[in-house]
Every structure is written in C-alpha cells, then in structure tokens.
Amino acid sequence: MQTLVFSTTNPSAWNTHGYTIKNPPKSTAVFRRLPNVSAVASPPALRTLPPEKVQIFKSLESWATQNVLPLLKPVEKSWQPTEFLPNPAQNFDDFTKEVHALRHRTSDLPDEFLVVLVGDMITEEALPTYQSMINRLDGVKDETGACTSPWAIWTRAWTAEENRHGDLLKTYLYLSGRVDMTMIDKTIQYLLSSGMNTGTNRNPYFGFVYTSFQERATFVSHGNTARLAKERGDPVLAKICGSIASDEKRHESAYSRIVEKLVEVDPSGAMLAIGEMMRMKITMPAHLMYDGQDPNLFAHFSAVAQRLGVYTAGDYADILEFLIQRWRLEKLEGLTDDARRAQEFVCGLAPRMRRLQEKADERAKKLRTTTGVKFSWIFNKELYL
Ligand SMILES: [Fe+2]
Ligand SMILES: [Fe+2]
C-alpha cells in the first residue's frame, strides 16, 4: 500500500509520481506518493548511533582492512561490460555481425522475462541512491569523498564494481531492440529523483543488515535470470547475469561479515538492529519506481518476477533463514531482555512468513487470469500477472 501526502517542490521532496496542482503558491506543488514504510515509526534512539557505538566502527578499522577490503576485486582482475558486448572498434561489418547475433539470441526471449530483466537493470541503475544511503551512516561514511578509512574505501570501490552491472545490462538490452529505451530511461530518471526509504537512516547497524539482505537478494535474482536466459537460448546473457550474480555474492559476504562482527562485539545491539530491520521489513531498493504511466509499476514488476520465480516471497524467507544461520542468531546468549525478545521474533519469523505467503499465493492465483497490465518498457504490451 502507498500513502499520498502533500509536499512542495523542495528538491528533496520532489517526487515523480507527481500530480501537479494548478496555481500553487510560488512553486509547483505535488502530491507525493510515499510507500508505507514503517521506518518512520522506528524508535528515535535507533535512527542514529550514540557516540560510544560510533566508536565501535572506529575500533574495527584495522579488522575491516584485513577482513572486508580483501573481498573487493582489483580493477585489473575485474570483468568489464565491453567483454560481453559487440566490439565497436572492429570494422563495421564485423561489428554489425555481432549486433545481428545478439539480436538473434534475444529475439525469442519472452516478454515476461524482459520485464524482469529491465526491472533488475533499472534497480542497478539507481546506484547513486545506494551510495548516498551508505554515506549517511554514522561512523562509516566517506567524510571527505576521498577518505582513507577502510569503510570509505570499501564504499567507493563497491560502488565502482556495482556500476558495471547497470551499464552492461542496459547496453545489452539497448542493442536487443526488444525494449522501449525511452521509457526505460524515463523510469531511471524518475527513480533517481525519488530516492528510496529503507528505514536505515544514519544507523550503520541497520545499514549493514539491510545491505547483507539486499546483496543476497540480488545474488538470488541475477542467478535466476542467468538460469532463465540459458534455458531460453541466450548463453551470453546467461553469462552476463551469472557474472553480476557472482559480484553480488562477494558483496553479500562482505556485508554479512560486518554484521557477524557486530554480533560478536555487541550481541544485544546487533540483535536489536536485526529485529528492528525485520520488523520494518526489508524494503526493495527500487520501491519508488515509476515510468510516468503506471503508479503501481514496482508492484507489477514484482508480481512478474514472483511468477517467473526470479525473486519470490519464498526467497525473502530463505534469505532470512540463511542470515539467521550465518550469524548464528539462535545460539546467541547473554542478551538484554529487549534483544532476547528481538531474537525470538527474528528466529520465528520465516515460518510465519511462509504461512502468510501460501495464503497470498492462493489469492494471487484467483486474480491471475483476470488481471492484465501494460508495461511501457515493452511498448505497452499487456502481461497477465
Ligand atoms: Fe548490482
Ligand atoms: Fe549489489
């Protein structure tokens, strides 16, 4: 569910779902359509970190240098988008042959698959929003923009690695001719203008729980698009999605290693943060997606991803269970009362989510045959959800 609230066009509030009001006072006014993110309800004490907790991150700097930075890949050992794309530096005939081959491989990809791939690519393209989120976190932000703390080094190099994902998928889709690039570019511009609200605020405990979850979610989803691309006869696209998935896996290892360390040095603080993030639910990074036409674009894209099995509610529960095991949360002892309650909540959450999902699936099945939605990304072709 989304909520409509009123705001003026101050740049930070400028929103893309904008229903413009005529003759507003001084500046254009818009209705903002905000997602129902419960982050706003999170206790104020959890939104920022007290100084002694900020100090934890300072004291972990040499640990981060030894344990987090090695999970980055040097530029010279990284793949680059050009390796997967027609080479424009060769003679024109050979270049066009490679473009033809790409268009041939992608000609039979189903529309549903393209919608999911486009949605994933657009999510990657909103990278500036994610770097900004990490650089809001107390104790780990890149204070100068070229800071030498391991946290800042990680964030910049992580961004640089991630930047290849959207670039490659976007160019590949552009050359395929199967998708409406103008509508895709508009969606990216809208999404970057909207930002995201994940509820992590300035709290790095929240931030790293969120990124652990998200990197695993993208690993799962790119892994599934790789499998589908292979099944549908495009081995190059399968390799592309697989290479992206393997970056996401490495990033997941780094972020979940940081949370593992927080669980070790501050078990109650970490457990409370994990509990709070799960109570708020992990908001998907592109939840404010909009193309200028469909106010429920993200929900519709998610429904197609769910139907294709690229990213499902079951995956959400699987990721949660994976992280509970990864951080050995069930075995944590000596917690404060609050943290123990958070532990009980988190460790019992996945089965409850699965039960709710079964009911939601039943409802979705009944709707499936009757609901068709047009996707601007594929030239307004209609898909059944
Ligand atoms: Fe990515
Ligand atoms: Fe990622």
233-282 pLDDT, tens digit per residue, is 999 999 999 999 999 999 999 999 999 999 999 999 999 999 999 999 99
The stretches in the chain having pLDDT less than 50 are: 1-41
Structure-derived torsion over alpha carbons of residues 209, 215, 220, 226, reported in degrees to the nearest 10 = 180
Number of domains present in the structure of the chain: 1
With CA atoms as reference, report the closest residue to 205 among 111, 282, 274, 118.
274
Look at residue 283 and tell me if it is in a domain: yes
**Quick one: CA dihedral 243, 153, 138, 53, positive or negative?**
positive
In a domain, 7, yes or no: no
> Is 63 a domain residue?
no
Q: Does the global pTM surpass 0.85?
A: yes
Q: Which residues contact 193 (CB under 8 A, 6 or more apart)?
A: 14, 15, 16
Per the annotation, where are the binding residues?
A: 124, 162, 165, 215, 248, 251
Residue 130 located in a structural domain? yes
Rounded to whole angstroms, the Cα distance separating 241 from 222 reads 5
Q: Is residue 1 part of a domain?
A: no
Ligand number with the minimum distance to the CA of 248: 2
Instruction: Quickly list DSSP for 301-346.
Output: HHHHHHHHTSS-HHHHHHHHHHHHHHTTGGG--S--HHHHHHHHHH
Which residues are part of the catalytic machinery? 79, 124, 162, 165, 215, 218, 247-248, 251
Nearest ligand atom owner, CA of 214? 2
| Residue 9 resides in a domain | no
Structure confidence at residue 25 (pLDDT)? 34
Structural domain harbouring 231 = 70-384
Whole-number Cα distances in Å, 33 to 22, 102, 286, 289: 18, 39, 14, 11
Give the pair of three-digit tokens for residue 171: 């160019």
**CATH number, domain containing residue 317:** 1.10.620.20
Tell me, what's the pLDDT at 224? 98
Nearest CA among 373, 248, 220, 375 for reference residue 310: 220
Distance in angstroms (rounded) separating the CA atoms of residues 188 and 113? 19
Which residues carry a binding-site annotation for Fe cation?
124, 162, 165, 215, 248, 251
Rg (C-alpha) for the chain, rounded Å, is 22
Sign of CA dihedral 80, 81, 82, 88: negative
Instruction: Note the pLDDT of residue 27.
Output: 36
Is residue 58 in some structural domain?
no
Average pLDDT along the chain: 88
The model's pLDDT over 150-180, given as tens digits with 9 standing for 90+, comes to 999 999 999 999 999 999 999 999 999 999 9
In a domain, 199, yes or no: yes
Q: What is the pLDDT of residue 26?
A: 39
Strand duo 372-375 + 381-384: pairing: antiparallel
In angstroms, what is the span from residue 163 Cα to ligand 2's centroid? 9
C-alpha 115 – ligand 1 centre gap (Å): 17
